[in-house]
Structure formats: C-alpha cells, structure tokens
Structure 1
C-alpha cells in the first residue's frame, strides 16, 4: 500500500506539472494563433475587394480609352466647333468618312453595344438631333449605322429626364458620366458611359458608348468567399448594381434591412476603402469594400464564423494534443513508477531497522 500511495503521488505530481506547462503554452499559442487567423481573414477579404476593383477597373479603363479615341477623332476632324449652318452637312460626312474607324474601336471590346457622337442641342438647336455612330445587338452581331433621326433633341437636354443624363450631365459638369443599368431593346442589361468633347473651351459634342453589364455579373458571381460569402457592387449613389438577392430597382444600401446599413453609408463614401462589421439575424458578418475611379464600390461580404473556422479547428487540435501528451506521460510514469518508488521504500525500511536495532553498519542494497 505504501508503494501504491507513493507511486500515485509521483504520478499526480508529474501530471499536474504537465497540465500546467503544456496547457499554459498551448492556450497562449492558441490565443495568439486565433488573433493571427482573424487578422489574416480580414486582410484576405480586403485584398479580395481590392483585387475585384482592379479587375473591373481594367475593363472600365478600356472603355475610357475607346471614348478618348473617339473624342480625339472628333477634335482632329474639327479644329473648332462646327458652325450651326454647316452642321447638317458635316456630321453625316464625318460619320461616312470615319465609320470603319468607329466600328474598329467598337469591336476591340466584346462588351461594347453602341458607340456614337451626339452634337450639343444647346448649340445646334432642338429641331433635329445631330448624331452619328454604330450599334449592335450582341457580341457576335454586326455594327449598324445610327443617325438619331428618331431621337428628340429637346428630350436629350431635359434636366428632368434622368434617362438622358448621359448627355446633359456632361454638358453641365464637363466630366464623364456613368449611367445606370437599363434594359436594351434586345432585352440585355446595358450601361451608358459618356464623355464631353472640348473644343475652344466649349462642349460642342459628347462621345457616348453603351456596354453590356453581363461581364460584371459573370465576374462577381464567380467569387465564392468561404462557404456562403459573396461579392456585390454599388454605384456612386449606393444603389445595388449587382447583388445575389437585391436589385437596382429595389431599395438602396441606405434603405435595406429597415435602414440598418445607413449608419455605414457616409463612411463608405468618404473612406473609399475599408471593412465594416454587423449582425445579420444574430450572426456576425463583415463587408470589405473598395471604391473604383468611376465611383462604383465593390464589396466582399463574409460570415465571421466561416472566416474564423480555422480557429475552431486549431482549438480541437490543441485539445487533442494536450490529451495525447497526458496519456503518453501517464503511461510512462506508470511503467516506471515501481523503479522510482523502490529506492525510496528501501531507504525508509532500512532507516526503520537502524532505529529499532541500533545497528549503524546496516547498508541499503537495492536495484532500480
């Protein structure tokens, strides 16, 4: 019984020391590792939003190059704004002489659906629309000539008509304009992009293109963030251009979920990039965002529990490791407990003998 009590005590001391040492180190490492994983998840989501913005920006820059080339064509042909008396002649001539150049510009981008120049009705009157360009119904179809005969010049400069903002907005601001999503006559989602053409400090014309929005949806739909995360896109007014469940015609970012996102809106507009955290149905969520040059904002939305799923795996691995160490250590101590206890027991027995017999010559002989 003495042996058993001594071995048990040795085992208890060894296991206690192991638990304190291994457990302390493990939980410290787990805490630091969890923080590192959380930081890595945040950096990944922000980097993903940034990467998506660059991919979209690359295509939008191509559109910008197309309109700049079209504007340069106009300013090369007209060193000064065409006179009001001659515009009815020179615009059709311009279209006929430069049709191939314009269609070649259009085919450079498979997303292009129309490319044209419209001359300013505020300079050239509203009785007739002076427009020349080309359009097509799809990527594989031919570009067809358009002249604007069926377009009302008065409607084009009606500031109360948002559908023609692609013309009057550049005239008012002198800056490029990105329109909203609309459905083309062919049933395709398209966006209008326009730039003012400057001559002698005036804006005699505007270069315009429309492009298919499908490439945006294809890119963002291809993104999978963890298990249930997704990417989406807002315009400069924080209206939804692309979202798995929300549409442009529905409530905007400030209005959804009973306005619970409104508190984040100003920060998104002002900060241009960042990450916000919120609760959705009691579940912690995050949205990382990055603003493009044209004012569009791309988001990477993620579930925090999914983002930090590796932390749970790490904890389980630590628990299993601690348990394995304790099992191995306990087994070793049990195997060698007899060897550890035998010398101590022999010394104790011999000391008792010396005390009872007074024989100081007694020796302790024991093998461990």
Structure 2
C-alpha cells in the first residue's frame, strides 16, 4: 500500500495547477453572475419603487374621481327627470359643484374637474366645469365645452367624453398639451350609466408635470436615468427626446426596444439595447394607466464594478497560486485526488447538496475515510428526506402545507419566466368557521376542516392540495385537471351538497371558492394569478352570504 505522503509528492504540482484553474474560473464566473444579478436587482428595485410611487399617485387620482362618480350616481333621482326637467338638471348640477371642487382641491396636481351630461338629451353645454386659470390659482367656474360645435369623432376637442363612453369603462387619456395653461395634462374619466343609458361622464385633468418630476428624479449609476412612454413606444417624458415623438423616428436602432415596451413584459432580467452607438441595459414596469416607466444605464457604468472585481480576482489568484505551490511543496506535500474529491463533496454538503457519490477508491487511509464519509452522507440524506416529508405536510389534514405551496409557487414562477405554462389556481375558504368554533369548540372546527379537506381532495384527485391558512386551501390545477376544471368544480359542489344531506342543518358545510387561469399576457408573476383567484373566492363568499340573507328574507 502506497503511503499518502508518496502520493502527495507525486501529484502536488498537478493538483495545484488544477485547483488554481478550477477555483479561478469558478470565481470569475460566479463574480460575473453575482454582479449581474445585483445589477438587475438594483435596477429592477429602483424601477419598481418609482413605479409604485407613481401608481400610488394615479390610484389617489382614480379614487377622487370615483368618489365624485359615486356621489353623482347616488344623488341622481332618475334619468327621465334629467331628460325632461330642466329645473332639476340645474339644481342637480348645482348640488354637485361643491363636492367636485372639494375633490379637485384635495387631489395632487388637479387643474380641472368636470361632470358632463349626455348631449343626446341635454343642452350642449350642460354640466359643470371648474378649472384653474393658472397653476397657482384657485378653481374657477367656466362654461363647459359646447358639444354642438364638434363632431363625436373630434378626439382633440371632445375625445375626453366619447372615448370613455365608447370604452364603457373608466379610462386614462393620453397626455396632451393645454394651450390655455401652457402645460401638459393627463385625464382620468369615468362614464356614468343609469337604467342602461349613458348619463354622462365624470373626469379630472391632472398637471402631467407632477408625473414628469417623479420620472426626472430617478438617478442610477453615473448617468443613468428614467423615461416614460405610452404603450406604443411614443415618448411621454425623456431627458433628450421631445414629447409624443415616436422612439423609432429619433433612432431607428430602437425598434427592438419599442417592441419590448409594447409587449409590456417585465421581470428580473434586464433588456439590452443600443442607442446613439451606446450599449445600454433597461428595466421597466407597466403603470396602472398603461404607460411604461423605464430605468436605463450604459453598459460601461454597469460593468465598471464587475471589471474591477474580476481584475482583483485575477491578481489575487495569481499571487495565491504562486505562494501555494511554494509553501505546499516545502511543508506538506500531502494533497492527492481523493482528498480533493472529499473537499469538493464537503463544499457541496455545506451548500445543501447531498447528491454526491465518491468515485476515488484507494486502499489507504483516505480510501477508508471516503467510505465512512459516503455512508455518513447516505444516512444524512435519509434523515433529511424524512424531516422534509414532515416539514411539507400539514399536521391536521395530511395535505401539503404552506411551505410546500411556496416551493410550488417558485417552480411555476420559473416556468412563467421561461415560457407559457398552463395552470390554474383554485382558492377555497370554509365559511363561518369562527362561528362553528365559538358554538361547538375548536375540536369540532378541526373536524369540519378535515371533512372539507377530504371533499377537496376527493374532487381534485390528480392535483396537489395545499392548506395555506386556518380555513383556506389552494389547489394547483395542471394537466387533465386544468383542462377539465369546470367539471371538477361542478363535481365539488355536488360533493358538498351530498355531504350536507347527512348532517344537521346547523352543521352544514359551506365552502367559498374562486378560480383563476394563468394568462401570460396579463399575469407577470404568480401572485397575480393567486390574487385573482382569491378575489373571486371572496366574491363567491359574498354572493353566498347574500343568497343566505335573501333566503331568510323570502322565508
């Protein structure tokens, strides 16, 4: 049997060379990966943070207009009176003025507020319009736009009315220039309907400068900045390009960038492009009004820290390798391949990877150590597998728990980034569980949860069931269950009804449910799909409560 020392002396120089190459290469690759990930994370965070601030502003504006819309709907006596009673029309308009002006005064950037009635059955200047005559002034009552002077297709003058009415929903209008105030404005308008007829619209004009200031405040790296476009790639706010200019008209090399912005995609990775001969990277987010907020910086500034780090690694590697050869040959001469393999295996274990298999079989002390090491890892893998089975299982129901659900969420998010997976989420919630616990005790409530879980598992036999809350479950539908989800939901309802036939009326089981199917064009992250399913569940819960109240009332 050859000694370890003999093997070390023979192999030391080649081992040092191999180790230097492997460690140095891995260090360089990992350094590039880490820096690139940090860069993407920083730029995406900066973009997401600013997009969140802008969405919050847009949301406050929407809420102001919605509040005025709700007030208008609630206090409108009827559309026939609006059509036939001119005195009521004037009285109702007067009633809205103080509410409208108060809403505008309490909305950041508001420069005008208006409530306009359908010109088909009211005078062409009916309604109210309060506007600022200058940005620092107060709101003044103005004569509303005369509909009779413009065609319904005249977007420039009356598009603020006909576009939301045509859309049939609340709409953000594209920014435009107001020559009277010499500013750019953006409008949010909500159409009003009563008795299946269009009553008119409620809208508010906002000084676009408040949004542009938020965009211009963004600074990243040395010369990085943010810009704003619409959903067609037209400039809304840019430090260089003029307002409303198509990006492809100012630089034809931006065609791919415009296509990316039109698609509305965004995620953890950065988009690379070239502008005026400068290579850049960009992160962007879609705002709630459809515009795109982008954060961009040159490659040279982004890669500056990475290049410095790589240089430091190369210098350190050269110095360490030289010293290692000298010191190792003189002092130890003990490095051999089996020890190198053991070292690599130990690093994998430290990183959480237990799928190792030691291949270096020698008839010496290292070989015996390798055998013992492999047996230890095998036993450890069995224990960890057993612990994991406990960690991912719900103790009460036996189905998968929230930890397992998070693992599935990460898997599906990765698939969403790489392609277009087909899946749906069903969210289920037991109704009135608290009342059951208060009336019959938590043991009975636990039995109810178990029974509900059995019904869910029985109905969705080929899909994983997760208990994600005390009385809340989630089911991820893929494959055949995804294709037949409607039939499965019908079977589930039938199973609940069959269950309730065999128990007392006061102990009936009621489960609210909601489903959402993944849509690659709108669902950017997994939580988007879950939220829609959760919202659908709560709507179903509300509908079930309403039906119960209605049934009690009818009886």
Report the Cα distance in structure 2 between the residues aligned to 1:15 and 1:65, rounded to whole angstroms. 73
- Show the 5 A alignment for 1:349-360: none
Secondary structure of 1:287's counterpart equals strand
Match of 1:208 in 2: 203
Mapped contact 1:15–1:329 kept (Cα < 8 A): no
Report the Cα distance in structure 1 between the residues aligned to 2:189 and 2:95, rounded to whole angstroms. 22
Match of 1:303 in 2: 298
CA displacement at 1:58 relative to structure 2: 0.6
Secondary structure of 2:239's counterpart equals coil
Larger radius of gyration: 1
The reply to whether residue 219 of structure 1 matches residue 214 of structure 2 is yes
The reply to whether residue 146 of structure 1 matches residue 145 of structure 2 is no
CA displacement at 1:323 relative to structure 2: 4.7
Residue of 124, 131, 135 corresponding to 2:131: 135
Match of 2:166 in 1: 172
- Show the 5 A alignment for 1:338-357: none
Secondary structure of 1:180's counterpart equals strand
Report the Cα distance in structure 2 between the residues aligned to 1:58 and 1:331, rounded to whole angstroms. 63
Further displaced range: 300-309 or 91-100:
91-100
For this pair of structures, how many residues does the alignment match?
Answer: 318
CA displacement at 1:34 relative to structure 2: 0.5
Residue of 92, 100, 103 corresponding to 1:102: 100
Match of 2:61 in 1: 63
CA 1:234–1:30 in 2, change beyond 3 Å: closer, same or farther?
same
Could you report, residue by residue, the CA deviation over 1:150-178 in whole angstroms, capped at 9, with x for unpaired residues? x3212455303334211111222212231
CA displacement at 1:206 relative to structure 2: 0.6
Match of 1:189 in 2: 184
Could you report, residue by residue, the CA deviation over 1:7-32 in whole angstroms, capped at 9, with x for unpaired residues? xxxxxx99997666445423321211
Residue of 111, 114, 133 corresponding to 1:113: 111
Further displaced range: 260-269 or 57-66:
260-269
Report the Cα distance in structure 1 between the residues aligned to 2:34 and 2:112, rounded to whole angstroms. 50
Report the Cα distance in structure 2 between the residues aligned to 1:283 and 1:100, rounded to whole angstroms. 54
The reply to whether residue 84 of structure 1 matches residue 83 of structure 2 is yes
Q: Which runs of 5+ in 1 are unaligned?
A: 1-12, 338-368
Report the Cα distance in structure 1 between the residues aligned to 2:192 and 2:151, rounded to whole angstroms. 16
CA displacement at 1:79 relative to structure 2: 3.4
Mapped contact 1:121–1:157 kept (Cα < 8 A): no
Residue of 279, 283, 289 corresponding to 1:284: 279
CA 1:134–1:24 in 2, change beyond 3 Å: closer, same or farther?
same
Give the TM-score of the pair, scaled to structure 1.
0.76
Match of 2:251 in 1: 257
Report the Cα distance in structure 2 between the residues aligned to 1:271 and 1:219, rounded to whole angstroms. 21
Mapped contact 1:181–1:248 kept (Cα < 8 A): no
Secondary structure of 1:124's counterpart equals coil
Mapped contact 2:232–2:258 kept (Cα < 8 A): no
Structure with the greater relative contact order (CA < 8 A, sep ≥ 6): 1 or 2?
Answer: 1
CA displacement at 1:231 relative to structure 2: 0.8
Report the Cα distance in structure 1 between the residues aligned to 2:149 and 2:62, rounded to whole angstroms. 26
Report the Cα distance in structure 1 between the residues aligned to 2:134 and 2:228, rounded to whole angstroms. 24
Report the Cα distance in structure 2 between the residues aligned to 1:320 and 1:215, rounded to whole angstroms. 50
Could you report, residue by residue, the CA deviation over 1:184-240 in whole angstroms, capped at 9, with x for unpaired residues? 412222222211011111111111111111111211111112122211111233321
Further displaced range: 187-196 or 55-64:
187-196
Report the Cα distance in structure 2 between the residues aligned to 1:281 and 1:236, rounded to whole angstroms. 23
CA displacement at 1:287 relative to structure 2: 2.1
Secondary structure of 1:238's counterpart equals coil
Report the Cα distance in structure 2 between the residues aligned to 1:161 and 1:330, rounded to whole angstroms. 78
CA displacement at 1:271 relative to structure 2: 4.2
Q: Which runs of 5+ in 2 are unaligned?
A: 1-10, 332-555
CA 1:302–1:189 in 2, change beyond 3 Å: closer, same or farther?
same
Match of 2:7 in 1: none
CA displacement at 1:68 relative to structure 2: 0.8
Mapped contact 2:97–2:128 kept (Cα < 8 A): no
Mapped contact 2:69–2:192 kept (Cα < 8 A): yes
Match of 2:422 in 1: none
CA 1:175–1:238 in 2, change beyond 3 Å: closer, same or farther?
farther
